[in-house]
Amino acid sequence: MNLSHNYLYAAAMLLFCIGLYNVIVRRNIVKKLIGLNIMETSVFFFYISLGYTRNGVAPVAGAGADPTRMVNPVPQVLVLTGIIVAVGVTALALSMVILLHRKYGTLDTDQIMRMARQEETQAAREEGN
Amino acid sequence: MAIFMITLPLLGAVLVSIVGYLKPHWLPWGALVPLLASGVLGCMLIGRIPSDGYISYHLGNWSVPLGIELRVDYLALFLMLLICALGLLALIFSRRYIVKEVSAGRMTAYYVLILLLSGGLMGFVASGDIFNLFVFMEIVALSSYGLVAISANSRAVRAALRYLLMGAPASIIILLGIALLYMATGSLNMAELAGRIGQSGYREILIASFVLFVVGFGVKAALFPLHLWLPDAHSIAPSPVSALLSGLVVEVSIFGILRIAYSVFTPHVGNLTSATSNALAVLAAAGVIFGGVMALLQKDLKLMLAYSTISHVGYIFLGLTAFNAEGLTGAMYHMLDHGLAKACMFLCAGSFIYIKGFRRIEDLKGAWRQMPWTCFAFGLAAFSLVGIPPTAGFISKWYLILGNVKAGNWVYVVVLLLGSLLGAFYCFRILYYMFFQPGKEGAWTPRPADVPPSMLIPIWILAVATVFFGLFSGLVIPSLLKAAGLLI
Nearest chain B CA: its distance from A81 CA (Å): 8
Q: Residue A52 sits in which domain range?
A: 3-128
How many distinct structural domains can be found in chain B? 1
Tell me the Cα Rg of chain A.
22
DSSP-derived secondary structure for B258-283: HIIIIIIS-GGGHHHHHHHHHHHHHH
Nearest chain A CA: its distance from B201 CA (Å): 14
Are B198 and A69 in contact by the 8 Å Cβ rule? The answer is no
% of chain B residues with pLDDT over 90 = 34
CB contact under 8 A, B165 and A96: no
* pLDDT of B38: 85
CB contact under 8 A, B154 and A103: yes
Nearest chain B CA: its distance from A64 CA (Å): 23
Global ipTM: 0.93
Other CB atoms within 10 A of residue B380 CB: 25
Residue B49 gets which letter from DSSP?
Answer: S
* pLDDT of B19: 82
Nearest chain B CA: its distance from A125 CA (Å): 15
- Residue A41, chain B, CB below 8 Å: the answer is no
CA dihedral A27, A33, A35, A40 (to 10 degrees): 160
DSSP-derived secondary structure for B126-148: HB-BHHHHHHHHHHHHHHHHHHH
How many Cβ pairs within 8 Å bridge chains A and B?
77
One pLDDT digit (tens) per residue for chain B, 488 residues = 667 878 888 888 888 888 888 877 778 888 888 888 888 888 888 777 766 677 788 877 777 777 788 888 888 888 999 999 999 999 999 888 888 888 878 888 899 999 999 999 999 998 888 999 999 999 999 999 999 998 878 889 999 999 999 999 999 999 999 999 998 888 888 888 888 887 877 888 888 999 999 999 999 999 988 899 999 899 888 889 999 998 899 999 999 998 888 878 877 777 777 888 888 999 999 999 999 999 999 888 999 999 999 999 999 999 888 888 888 889 999 999 999 999 999 999 998 888 877 778 877 887 777 888 888 999 999 999 998 888 888 999 999 999 989 888 889 999 999 999 999 998 888 888 888 877 776 667 777 777 788 888 889 999 999 888 888 877 777 777 877 777 77
**Among candidate residues B154, B345, B92, B85, the one with its CA nearest the CA of residue B353:** B345
DSSP-derived secondary structure for B87-99: HHHHHHHHHHHGG
CB contact under 8 A, A99 and B168: no
* CATH code (residue A99): 1.10.287.3510
DSSP-derived secondary structure for A23-82: HHH-SBHHHHHHHHHHHHHHHHHHHHHHT--TT-B----STT--GGGBPPSHHHHHHHHH
Give contacts of A47 with chain B, Cβ < 8 Å: 179, 182
- Residue A38, chain B, CB below 8 Å: the answer is no
Nearest chain B CA: its distance from A63 CA (Å): 22
Domain membership of residue B175 (yes or no) is no
pLDDT tens, residue by residue, B385-432: 998 888 888 999 999 999 989 888 889 999 999 999 999 998 888 888
Q: Residue B286 sits in which domain range?
A: 266-488
Domain membership of residue B410 (yes or no) is yes
CB contact under 8 A, A96 and B160: yes
End-to-end CA distance of chain A: 69
CB contact under 8 A, B135 and A81: yes
Spatial separation of the C-alpha atoms in residues B266 and B323, rounded to whole Å: 10
Report the chain A residue with the minimal C-alpha distance to residue B175: A43
Report the chain B residue with the minimal C-alpha distance to residue A120: B155
Are B311 and B288 in contact by the 8 Å Cβ rule? The answer is yes
Nearest chain B CA: its distance from A83 CA (Å): 11
CB contact under 8 A, A43 and B182: no
CB contact under 8 A, A50 and B182: yes
CB contact under 8 A, A88 and B138: yes
Give contacts of A26 with chain B, Cβ < 8 Å: none
* pLDDT of B433: 86
Amino acid, single-letter form, for residue B414 = V
Residues of chain A with pLDDT under 70: 1, 129
Strand partners, B300: B360
Other CB atoms within 10 A of residue B453 CB: 11
Domain membership of residue B113 (yes or no) is no
CB contact under 8 A, A96 and B157: yes
* pLDDT of B52: 66
CB contact under 8 A, A100 and B183: no
DSSP-derived secondary structure for B144-168: HHHHHTTT--HHHHHHHHHHHHHHH
Q: What is the pTM of this model?
A: 0.92
Domain membership of residue B487 (yes or no) is yes
Nearest by CB to A93, from B152, B155, B161: name it: B161
* pLDDT of B50: 67
**Among candidate residues B190, B392, B390, B227, the one with its CA nearest the CA of residue B313:** B227
- Residue B208, chain A, CB below 8 Å: the answer is no
CB contact under 8 A, A104 and B154: yes
* pLDDT of B106: 85
Domain membership of residue B6 (yes or no) is no
Nearest by CB to B158, from A43, A93, A116: name it: A116
Nearest by CB to B172, from A40, A75, A99: name it: A40
Answer left, alpha or beta for residue B152, where phi above 0 means left and psi between -120 and 50 means alpha.
left
**Among candidate residues B375, B373, B348, the one with its CA nearest the CA of residue B359:** B348
Give contacts of B138 with chain A, Cβ < 8 Å: 85, 88-89
Which residues 75-104 in chain A show a CB within 8 A of chain B? 75, 78, 81-82, 85, 88-89, 92-93, 96-97, 99-100, 103-104
- Residue A45, chain B, CB below 8 Å: the answer is no
CB contact under 8 A, A16 and B152: no
How many distinct structural domains can be found in chain A? 1
Q: Which of A6, A20, A99 to mutate to test the interface with B (most CBs of B within 10 A)?
A: A99
Q: Which of B165, B185, B362 to mutate to test the interface with A (most CBs of A within 10 A)?
A: B165
Report the chain B residue with the minimal C-alpha distance to residue A86: B168
